[in-house]
Chain A
């Protein structure tokens, strides 16, 4: 996602609901990695608020709090249906993942069919390259490289990334790739782009490549996701009942 989801559009669950439906499980296990935001309590709280009333089993891992809240990282992550990576500093995200061996665990997770999702830093991290503002002015930064090519996010919301992205692709410093507006998302199956979706009209994605030293931005019109007007898949269960269920599970599965 170029931007969006519960942290950026709390009133519009369309992208998060889309992510949730990508997992075949009826009640998918979804784990937030808020690493790029320094495991901010705010991001964690908003995730649980957004997902606790949905048909899913939300958890999070705080690498900064492993000392007081230990979690078996590999075991917990490989047991998920969806891993959702929050936004923040891309440089810190990758440094912290490497320090904890999460780069390898996430590759294993991806290869085993766990849906990997995220916005901003949590989007660019999957590609070979991104354009980060985590060291001040926008600069290209290496990602994990599960997906070939490059990715630039907040393409409409933070226009200062665009010239850096375009010139870096034009010079060949980074490979061609995809620029994505806030509220738009790219779905890759394997390493191939399968679909482009958006949670609001006007949000777009662009295929960006160099042709004779010039960059070309080719618009990809997304499929507009419908915000569910209370066609909530959790309808058969009362919200309170679902909460009680989650609480009981948390008690059993964690801590």
Chain B
């Protein structure tokens, strides 16, 4: 059976940003489990943080061996060949890309050929997810998180659209994103902290959130004007009380 290609792109959230709120992480673990094993294999890529030790430790704390089969790949302390990394990634149910600098992330991923390996994993049905830089990297273009100086950067391009993250937190991001889309960047999706965009194939299937108030938007250029449309968001905390939603 072929597994669908899936990406869950968090505007912010998960174990790195929402201590005590596991809703987004539980959601991606659920997708990974649904795709195969009871104890899904989850590989963390802390590249965008420079492989910060404390980040790796926090990952293992939140993805304990009881719930999944956790691993991580450090591209700063690599001890195995490219083929081994590629086959390890292809053997996963979920690849979780941490936050940090998207420019650094893309530079290092490309230097190690992981942009190609991650595309292969996606095509093979490994669920890809991440927050912040770990969201931006999946899109064709993305807005960097530069303080007061958000600018476009090229991602891996699995989703042929653009992306902006932390859309609520930093007020300069909205005008910068709108200006970039007005200037010719492909339209795309903006997500606030706590909101996550779930893509099946290249299409947005669902927006989920770990907080009732988190929002996500579609941002498009229509007749030389940038139009922002709020997307319907499903709050995961209330999901048990709701009927199942059609995708």
Decide if A99 touches B144 in the complex (CB within 8 Å): no
Residues of B within 8 A of A40 (CB): 50, 52-53
From 70 to 84 in chain A, residues with beta carbon under 8 angstroms from any chain B beta carbon are: 70
Task: Using known A-B contacts A70-B148, A89-B75, A136-B80, determine if residue A38 contacts B107 with beta carbons closer than 8 Å.
Answer: no
B145 close to chain A: CB less than 8 A: yes
* Cα-based distance from A247 to B49 in the complex (angstroms): 27
Residues of B within 8 A of A37 (CB): 50, 76
Picked from A65, A70, A95, A136, the residue with its CB within 8 Å of the CB of B78 is: A136
Residues of B within 8 A of A65 (CB): 101
Q: A6-42 interface mask toward B, CB cutoff 8 Å, 1 = contact, 0 = none? A: 0000000000000000000000000000001111110
Task: Using known A-B contacts A95-B108, A95-B111, determine if residue A68 contacts B147 with beta carbons closer than 8 Å.
Answer: yes
Residues of B within 8 A of A66 (CB): 101, 103, 146-147
Residues of A within 8 A of B76 (CB): 36-38, 88-89, 92, 134
CB distance from A104 to the nearest CB of B (A): 15
CB distance from A184 to the nearest CB of B (A): 24
Residues of B within 8 A of A41 (CB): 52
Decide if A39 touches B50 in the complex (CB within 8 Å): yes
Decide if B81 touches A137 in the complex (CB within 8 Å): yes
Decide if A99 touches B147 in the complex (CB within 8 Å): no
B13 close to chain A: CB less than 8 A: no
Q: B132: nearest residue on chain A (CB-CB)? A: A67
A100 close to chain B: CB less than 8 A: yes
* Cα-based distance from A98 to B108 in the complex (angstroms): 10
Q: A37: nearest residue on chain B (CB-CB)? A: B76
B58 close to chain A: CB less than 8 A: no
From 107 to 144 in chain A, residues with beta carbon under 8 angstroms from any chain B beta carbon are: 134-137
* Cα-based distance from A137 to B148 in the complex (angstroms): 41
* Cα-based distance from A27 to B33 in the complex (angstroms): 60
For B, the interface residue count at a CB cutoff of 8 angstroms equals 31
Residues of B within 8 A of A89 (CB): 75-78
Residues of B within 8 A of A38 (CB): 49-52, 76
Decide if B104 touches A96 in the complex (CB within 8 Å): yes
Decide if A67 touches B81 in the complex (CB within 8 Å): no
B110 close to chain A: CB less than 8 A: yes
* Cα-based distance from A67 to B145 in the complex (angstroms): 6
A63 close to chain B: CB less than 8 A: yes
* Cα-based distance from A137 to B53 in the complex (angstroms): 23
Q: Which of B49, B79, B104, B146 has the most CB of A within 10 A?
A: B104
Residues of A within 8 A of B81 (CB): 135-137
A91 close to chain B: CB less than 8 A: yes
Residues of A within 8 A of B75 (CB): 89, 92
Q: B89-115 interface mask toward A, CB cutoff 8 Å, 1 = contact, 0 = none? A: 000000000001101101110111000
A188 close to chain B: CB less than 8 A: no
Binding site for B on A (CB under 8 A): 36-41, 63-70, 88-89, 91-92, 94-96, 98-100, 134-137
- Could you give 30 example pairs across A and B, Cβ below 8 Å? A36-B76, A38-B52, A38-B76, A40-B53, A63-B103, A64-B48, A64-B101, A66-B101, A66-B147, A67-B101, A68-B147, A69-B147, A70-B146, A70-B148, A70-B149, A89-B75, A89-B78, A91-B111, A92-B75, A92-B76, A92-B107, A92-B111, A96-B107, A96-B108, A99-B103, A100-B103, A134-B76, A135-B78, A135-B112, A136-B78
Q: Which 9 pairs across A and B sit closest by C-beta, in order of nearness?
A: A38-B50, A99-B107, A95-B111, A67-B145, A95-B107, A38-B76, A64-B50, A39-B50, A38-B51
Binding site for A on B (CB under 8 A): 48-53, 75-82, 84, 100-101, 103-104, 106-108, 110-112, 144-149
